[in-house]
Chains A and B, each alone.
Chain A
Amino acid sequence: GQNIDQPTEMTATEGAIVQINCTYQTSGFNGLFWYQQHAGEAPTFLSYNVLDGLEEKGRFSSFLSRSKGYSYLLLKELQMKDSASYLCAVMDSNYQLIWGAGTKLIIKP
């Protein structure tokens, strides 16, 4: 079966760095996405990795290792507005997204 695993909840301090991990087992792989979802709102796109390595975009970076079925999202210089759920999704061989349940990130001052 297809499976995406990520921690249910994480807590971090304003100004700090946090790493959210995602492991996956899917039928085929056509890229991995990270989305941010604030409570009561729609998911919004953060990053896309299809090749191994690190993609940096401002305060956010995403890493992929296809051989390990592993990705992480790194958030630096945390701000209170980063409190949200972070969703990991893998595009399978049918070009459909398989979604993890999301990691709720709580930022404390």
Chain B
Amino acid sequence: IAGITQAPTSQILAAGRRMTLRCTQDMRHNAMYWYRQDLGLGLRLIHYSNTAGTTGKGEVPDGYSVSRANTDDFPLTLASAVPSQTSVYFCASSDGIQGNEQFFGPGTRLTVL
């Protein structure tokens, strides 16, 4: 692995189903983030983790949960998907939080029907 990987690449999901988006980084970065990107809007932060074992809520956390059991992995779970969660989801990481660039994964395109 080099950088950040996300899985799956894309997914079509029925409303009400549970879904976990996976994110793994091999750069030993402390901080990790989940964003959603919708047409005409900027990236919006869902949840973040400044270090393993801690998580925080971003701008749009409702309907999503995260965990950070170790440095490398930061899964995002939709407990009961709704059509408004149709979006492109990006995971990112950074080496620290103060002024450090964020490195992005390739994204997961999720469609909820």
Contacts and interface: CB of A to CB of B under 8 A. Distances in A.
Answer yes or no: are A and B bound together in one complex. yes
Interface of A: 4, 30-31, 33, 41-45, 48, 50, 87, 89, 91, 95-102
B103 to A, nearest CB: 8
Given A48-B99, A95-B97, A98-B42, 12 more contacts: A4-B42, A31-B99, A41-B106, A41-B107, A42-B90, A42-B105, A43-B90, A45-B101, A45-B103, A89-B43, A99-B43, A101-B40
Closest 8 CB pairs of A and B: A99-B42, A42-B104, A45-B101, A99-B43, A95-B97, A101-B42, A31-B99, A100-B42
Nearest to B98: A95
A43 B43 contact: yes
Interface of B: 40-45, 48, 58, 90, 97-99, 101-107
B42 A30 contact: no
B104 A96 contact: no
Given A43-B43, A87-B43, A97 B99 contact: no
A102 B41 CA distance: 8
A97 B90 contact: no
A42 B9 CA distance: 12
